[in-house]
Structure 1
Amino acid sequence: MDDAEPLTRVMALHALVYCERLFYLEEVEEIRIADQSVYDGRRLHEQLPEYVELTSYTLESERLGIKGKVDVVRTIDGRWVPFEYKKGRARLSRDGRVQAWPSDEIQICAYALLLEEHFERPITEGRVYYAADHRTAVVLVDEELRARFAETVRRAAELRRSTQRPPVTSNTNLCTNCSLAPVCLPEEERLLLEVSAEPAQRFFPADREGSDLHVTSPGATVRRSGGTVIVEERGGERKEFPIHEIVSISLHGHVQVTTQTIHACASEGIPIHFFTTGGRYVGSIGNLAGGVQRRLRQYAGLTDPAMVLYLAKRLVTAKVESQLRYVLRLTREKQRETVESEIEVMREAVKHVHRASSLDELRGWEGLAGRAYFTCLGTLTRDDGQLALDGRNRRPPRDPANALLSFWYALLYRDCVRAILVVGLDPSIGFYHQPRSSAYPLALDLMEMFRVTLCDMILVGSLHRRQWSVGDDFVQAGKQCWLSPEGRKKAIELYERRKQDKWKHPVIGYSLSYDRAIELEVRLLEKEWSGAPGLFARNRIR
């Protein structure tokens, strides 16, 4: 065996026989998620009956190309017999005989061969105990099973060398209990291949577990004590947050964070984001997801001019149509004549976006639609006095409405960066925005789909509800305007609350929060260059 070829985990072979796609995600792209089923399986091993001899071995073999831990080896009539304990049910043959599942047979065979090589003792059988129905299956380690094992190892090596994910399994039952279904999104890919009246299974969680921690108090310090993150404010107030309930930490302005906190967050995969006092995004500390294959596919896809233009057209279409629909919604009960010309510009832009033959042409129509859109918003918020949106201005924002938009866009950018890193893509390689600043182009691309729903709609709604005070919530210095500490807290609360609102996604066919929708769109985007195109950028506001 080639010295450079990594040894394959026995559990990875188990996954390969179960589903090649699962093997590739776990072993090649290094995506591993421990869901409740995984924890139940671990607990089963920890709670084995006292009569079970816990003789275990951690073994590896260059010749076999595998490594693994044999949890239980029992002696029966002088023979060594490897045992495996599974929480599920045994397989029954047509005549009612108890059998092990094919993936469990390969696992037993791998352990048997490791034991034979290291201890020079013949292993002729293994056994698998299934806790759900209290049945034990005998697995004969014969020549036929050994040949299947060798073929499985060969296939594992072949998949390791590939940059393409295997297709989704045709056996839908396998996906139901798979911990990586929210990453694989098999049901979404099947929607491209078949039309079904049956509702999609909920493989992608509707909500994200945990919450974002925002620290806005000037001079505050973020510390870590055991499994707790502690925020100490300058006045002595102290707040504690269990680290397992935190998804990300955002530090606004002059906030300190200890090295121990950074270390703990890095270990737990919790990104730390930094913002200026004025709300500008500065940067993040976080781990990149493993799996170079994903980024190789991304680079190949996003260096293809045809793919780039195709994705850009889908993105801009989604953005402009959402802007148009929102303006039409706002003017349902008002005199539409005041913005009719701008609405026509946006309608015309939608038509031309579909026919655009270059990115420059696409940007031209997007720019025209954007100017018309913000003119509409300005007209429709004219009654809000000093808080009315008078066009779009930034760097720095010059009025309260634009200060709010800039702040919310910065939070949205943070969420897009986080989603991209969670999926394992490179945020520096995009398809529409050019790398002209320190901002990640792919994050800027993804933002376009959510500006209306997560930022613009909050702005107009909060202005109409008179939720802002010019004197208390904003600081005006010359031509610059930014949020006061009190205004930042209010803006963060509105944004985070909006992210938890649910809506029915057109691809998966069921409701999920906007927070989860951002990650879902990144995963659907990845499918565009991974063999399942046509799912990205389908969402529109009603």
Structure 2
Amino acid sequence: MKKLLNTVYVNTPDRYLSLDGENIVISQDGTEIGRVPLHNIERVMTFGHGGASPALMGKCARNGIDLVFMSRSGHFIARVEGEVRGNVLLRRQQYRFADNEERSLDIAKNIISAKLFNSRWVIERMIRDHGARIDTELFGQRSRFLQNSVSQARNCTDMESLRGIEGEAASVYFSVFNDMILQQKDDFSFKVRNKRPPLDNVNALLSFAYSLASGMCASALESAGLDPYVGFMHTDRPGRRSLALDLVEEFRSVLCDRFVLTLINKRLVSSGDFMKREDGAVLLTEEGRKSFFSAWQKRLNEELKHPFIEEKVEWGMLPYVQAMLLARYIRGDLDCYPPFMWK
């Protein structure tokens, strides 16, 4: 089993990254301010426009270390990529699956069924853990709706109907998201999901978490030999990592949403960790991103028992496990793709 190694987050926009032997050197205005050994690093994520040296980019590409450039708001810009390591026979089979409506629908139904199942159990956990502080009858109604949506998704006969079921279920799920925010209600309230750009503190956190999780899924798919740009539910679009967007659906509620709620309810972030631009976009400040990354890395290191492989894995390894299971299905080693279903 692949092991979860460290991720280096370079949060300050004007930091420049270079290579010295087997170390990443972090500089500001030409002055070295830190260095990190490469031997136990699997990913470097830099936020802003400081840049990196060609020598470091080449070293990361050769060693299979992700070097990812993100905007300050957490949107993916680019990733250094070396020689493609994917098995050509596996990728050719993936493309055949993607061109086959029935095959694509089978995979998409499993992914969306898991997404709705996981969303339901986020609600059920709220009823169990915080029943005295929420409207349990309302939450119970939403849970039953999502349970029914899981059955509908599994029995769906076309992709458009599946998208409709997923969209309606997401609306029902988010209708009680504000009720899951139990602390700091004056500064953190949720009315509707908005993005590109996020317009409030809660949506800024959600978008940031989703971007990080999508990047993890893209890296995991490549590690498994799959093409992250060719999906089954999300259609092909130049520059869009469609399969990564498919895979991340399984993790949105159980990894990202629950993490955001933890940040707010445990007061790990506050209103001072956000700034508002002239266009209305709300972004995390530099200090806000530091708090986010610290808690995010701790969450990724937590363990759970995977329901299919029945082994303990870190949360941060889940995209890799699912990517490997998807590759096994596409190769014909499994009868169907087993999505991640949390309870």
Query: TM-score under structure 1 normalisation?
Result: 0.60
Q: Give the Cα separation in 2 of the matches to 1:536 and 1:329.
A: 26
Q: Which residue of 1 aligns with 2:170?
A: 370
SS of the residue corresponding to residue 244 of structure 1 reads: coil
Kept in 2, the 8 Å contact 1:221–1:231? The answer is yes
2:125 pairs with 1:325: no
In structure 2, C-alpha distance between the alignment counterparts of 1:501 and 1:453, rounded to whole Å: 13
In the superposition, relative to structure 1, how do residues 521 and 374 fare at CA in structure 2: closer, same or farther (>3 Å)? same
In the alignment, structure 1 residue 480 sits paired with structure 2 residue 281: yes
Read off the aligned partner of 2:163 and give its amino acid letter.
R
**1:438 counterpart (228, 239, 245):** 239
Unaligned segments of structure 2, at least 5 residues: none
Q: Give the deviation of 1:347 after TM superposition.
A: 2.4
In the alignment, structure 1 residue 357 sits paired with structure 2 residue 157: yes
Residue 501 of structure 1 and its aligned partner are, at CA, apart by 1.1
In 2: Cα distance, 1:458 partner to 1:393 partner: 18
Percent of paired sites with the same residue: 27
What is the rounded CA distance, in whole Å, between the counterparts of 2:63 and 2:40 in structure 1?
Answer: 11
**Cα distance, 1:337–1:235 mapped onto 2, change above 3 Å:** farther
Deviations 1:418-454 (A, max 9, x none): 1111112111111111124632110000101111222
1:540 and 2:341 matched: yes
**Contact map agreement 1:378 1:391 (CA 8 A) in 2:** no
How far has the Cα of 1:341 moved from its partner? 3.8
Unaligned runs of 5+ in 1: 1-203
Give the total of aligned pairs. 336
CA contact (8 A) 2:182 2:265 kept: no
The match for 1:347 is 147
Amino acid in the other structure paired with 1:275: M
Q: Distance in 2 between matches of 1:338 and 1:507?
A: 32
Q: Distance in 2 between matches of 1:338 and 1:399?
A: 25
Q: Residues 534 and 234 of structure 1: is their aligned pair in 2 closer, same or farther, counting only changes over 3 Å?
A: farther
Q: Which residue of structure 2 aligns with residue 295 of structure 1?
A: 91
Q: What's the RMSD between the two structures over aligned residues? A: 1.7
Q: Secondary structure at the match of 1:331?
A: helix
1:531 aligns with 2:326: no
2:58 to 263, 281, 303: 263
Q: Which residue number corresponds to residue 240 of structure 1?
A: 35
The alignment partner of 1:497 has SS state of helix
1:476-527 deviation per Cα after TM superposition (whole angstroms, max 9, x unaligned)? 1242100001111111222222111111112211101122221111111012
Q: Retained in 2: the 8 A contact 1:382–1:389?
A: no
Task: Please say if residues 449 and 537 of structure 1, whose CA atoms lie closer than 8 Å, have aligned partners that are also in contact.
Answer: no
2: CA distance between counterparts of 1:230 and 1:346?
49
- Whether the aligned pair in 1 keeps the contact of 2:67 and 2:79 (CA below 8 Å) is yes
d(CA) in 2 for partners of 1:272, 1:236: 22
Distance 1:318 1:227 in 2: 41
- Equivalent pair of 2:43/2:67 in contact (CA under 8 Å): yes
CA distance in 1, matches of 2:30, 2:61: 29
The TM-score normalised by the length of structure 2 is 0.93
- Counterpart for residue 496 of structure 1: 297
Higher CA-based Rg: 1
Greater RCO (CA < 8 Å, at least 6 residues apart): 2
1:284 positional shift: 0.8
SS at match of 1:367: helix
Q: 1:425 aligns with which of 226, 238, 241?
A: 226
